[in-house]
Chain A
Amino acid sequence: MASALKTYGTLIGFILVVVFFWIEIPDTFMTAKNWLNISQQVSMLAVVAFTMTIVMVMGDFDLSVGSMASLAGIVAALAFHDGYGVEIGVALALIIGLAGGLLNGVLVAYVGILPFVATLGTLTIYSGLAFLVSGGKTIFGRDIPPAFSGFARSGIPLSDTVSLPSLTLVAALVLLAVWFVLEQTTFGRRLYAIGGNKEAARLAGIRVKRLRFFAFGLSGLGAATAGLMYASRVASANPTQGSGLMLDAIAAVFLGMTMSDEGEPHVLATLVGVLILGVLGNGLTQMSIDSYVREVLIGSIIVLAVAASSIGKARG
């Protein structure tokens, strides 16, 4: 019972929040349309948080994801501006994301810089590059092809009134891929081994450097994907638009980590973390709660959930 509460405390908290909104906003909160809305609203954060989970499994961080998301959006928009098609723009942005992620991997794994410092450095570099190549401009209007901006507004119709948003679908596919990689492959299990004890993992014959290198590449790729989703949703690209994603993504992974006995990140738990953040944003807006109260509440919930879990675990 006690261990179940420790493990499922955050999940129970999430369910309580949902039930609370259901009671307070009876007409509109617990509807398929609203939940599909929420799923679309959190989809960009979700993708960053899912791929962030991959590096956090090893006990590392990637602080550069927000500026990488901005840079990817800018790269795609500039490609569109120069007359390239949607496929080329998207491919270029993803390549930049992968390359930027792998650069983080080189710095962390091979050069041996602490991830916090290395990715803080690349955060600044990628953000600077986004400003440099865009000239600080927001790229919008005719430069963004309708096929690109239309993607974020499209979906698979589920009934006459609701449809499954394309952005939600992308997030679900990323979730599936990350879950498969982390939980079902030797690559994933080895990442957990590195997170448990780097030295022991190395002595057991795991090629720690190479795995960290690739893991950071995946995080960069995820950040670029989210940046493209963001650019499609706002039909524009701005050199700072992804910057809010990083802290929320780390917060979501931390919220998810409270659900594991070992304090390990798991991608399905990260999903719960993402949903907590998304549901609070959605429900509190519908209840007309002041947006600053909302900020304080979300921050408090993160701190309390993580604190409760760590105190519980320290005693357990």
Chain B
Amino acid sequence: MTATLRKRLPAAALFLSAVFAAGAATAAGKIAVITPYLAQPGTQFYVEAFQAAAKDKAWDVNVIDTKGDVAAVISRLEDAATQKVDAVVINVDPAQVEAGLAAVKDAGIPVVGMDAGASPYLVTNVTSNGYAMAADTAAYVANRIGGKGNVVMFVFDAFPPVQVRGVIADAVFGNNPDIKVLDRVTPDVSDGGIADSRAKMEALLAAHPDKGSISAVWAAWDQPALGALQAIEAAGRQNEGIVITGIDANPQAREAIAAGGNFEASMAQDFHGIGRAAAEAVAQTLAGKPPKSSVIYVPTKLITADNVKD
């Protein structure tokens, strides 16, 4: 025996034992949940809720996280097709993984989208209504400022689910002749979006120094709203009545709303509800009665200081 081989044996043993330990469980329904985005809090919530629902149904769920790699999602879809799982759940833009979805379809395996996007390859897609969320917060802003004043919008048109929110807010503000959109800012999101939104908002505050020159900030998601809040507070202009709204109602946003400052409202998506509804859609499909609609909307809720503690 050589040193090489001796060194190799423990490795092989480790490998085999880990594999056996993990591969031991088998159950009636084998479901593969595939996403590149498991590190995102929202995705974690729906996956957790999906797993909880799956436990009640005694499914064997394999959650596969490709850590941001979309091509790897295609590879794992192909593997799921080869493995002949009973159903696949994806959380990724279906248009980018069509090659893998085609392989799954050829294998006769149904795919349910969990906040994925519409696609003919999906039985259905369970998601929140982005149009409705943007309409709720934009209408909140318009009503709070009495249909009059300058509004700063934070948008992100590169990401389709966020882009639709901007379009709806444009329509709401456009329908109020006395509301002027001062700027439509696209923040740099590589650092999470708060820091750059704060910097952009600071510049806008400097350019519009008079009290009342900015009435509201409408943000397509929470991070820019939080950045704008920081900029307004740092500039000492928190008492001018500038109304800020976000979307998603993440914990930091809820804290800001509860504090009763400028950040007044956000929309809560029911991430757990999305996970549960996706599990329900899978159950119906496996029972031979797939949902009729290609999109299932899970209701969202406007979060303000009145209900943030609920």
Contacts and interface: CB of A to CB of B under 8 A. Distances in A.
Given A6-B2, A6-B4, A241-B70, A236 B95 contact: yes
A150 to B, nearest CB: 10
A37 interface: yes
B4 A311 contact: yes
Q: Is the interface of B mostly helix, strand, loop or mixed?
A: helix
Nearest to B38: A291
B120 interface: no
A59 interface: no
Given A28-B84, A290-B63, A304 B70 contact: no
Contacts of B189: 136
Nearest to B102: A153
Interface string A273-316: 00000000110111111111100010011001101110110010
Interface in B1-48: 2-5, 7-8, 11-12, 14-16, 18-19, 22-23, 30, 32
B63 A286 contact: no
A274 B141 CA distance: 54
Contacts of B62: 285, 288-290
B33 to A, nearest CB: 10
Contacts of B84: 28
Interface in B30-76: 30, 32, 60, 62-72, 74-76
Contact of B82 (A1, A28, A149): A28
Given A5-B4, A24-B19, A289-B23, A34 B82 contact: yes
A152 B99 contact: yes
A233 B188 CA distance: 27
Nearest to A21: B19
A13 B19 CA distance: 16
B93 interface: yes
A230 interface: yes
Interface in B68-97: 68-72, 74-76, 78-80, 82-84, 93, 95-97
B287 interface: no
Given A24-B23, A233-B71, A301-B15, A5 B95 contact: no
Contacts of A16: 12
A6 B188 CA distance: 50
B3 A312 contact: yes
B98 interface: yes
B74 A287 contact: no
A299 to B, nearest CB: 12
A138 interface: yes
A6 B102 CA distance: 43
Contact of B23 (A240, A282, A287): A287
B158 interface: yes
A140 interface: yes
A9 interface: yes
A289 B8 contact: no
Nearest to A289: B22
Contacts of B68: 240, 243-244
Given A230-B71, A235-B95, A304-B8, A5 B2 contact: yes
B22 to A, nearest CB: 5
A308 B95 contact: no
B83 to A, nearest CB: 4
A244 B66 CA distance: 10
Interface string B188-202: 111000000000000
A84 interface: no
Interface string A152-183: 11000000000000000000000000000000
A141 interface: yes
A238 to B, nearest CB: 7
Given A234-B71, A234-B97, A240-B68, A304 B11 contact: yes
B206 to A, nearest CB: 25
A301 B13 CA distance: 12
Nearest to A308: B7
Contacts of B11: 300-301, 304-305, 308
B4 A297 contact: no
A292 B65 CA distance: 8
A291 B76 CA distance: 10
A9 B5 contact: yes
Given A6-B2, A16-B12, A291-B65, A286 B79 contact: yes
Nearest to A307: B7
Contacts of A141: 95
Contacts of A137: 157-158
A159 to B, nearest CB: 15
A274 to B, nearest CB: 13
A40 B71 CA distance: 11
Contact of A41 (B14, B78, B97): B78
Nearest to B65: A291
Contacts of A315: 3
A102 interface: no
Contacts of B76: 281, 285
A238 B83 contact: no
Given A297-B18, A301-B11, A312-B3, A285 B99 contact: no
16 contacts: A5-B5, A24-B23, A37-B82, A138-B96, A141-B95, A153-B98, A235-B98, A281-B72, A285-B62, A285-B83, A291-B64, A293-B18, A300-B11, A300-B15, A307-B7, A309-B4
The 9 closest A-B pairs by CB, nearest first: A137-B158, A312-B4, A308-B7, A41-B75, A288-B62, A285-B79, A304-B11, A286-B83, A234-B96
Given A41-B74, A137-B158, A244-B67, 15 more contacts: A2-B4, A13-B8, A17-B15, A28-B83, A31-B82, A37-B78, A138-B93, A138-B96, A153-B98, A234-B70, A236-B96, A288-B30, A300-B14, A311-B4, A312-B2
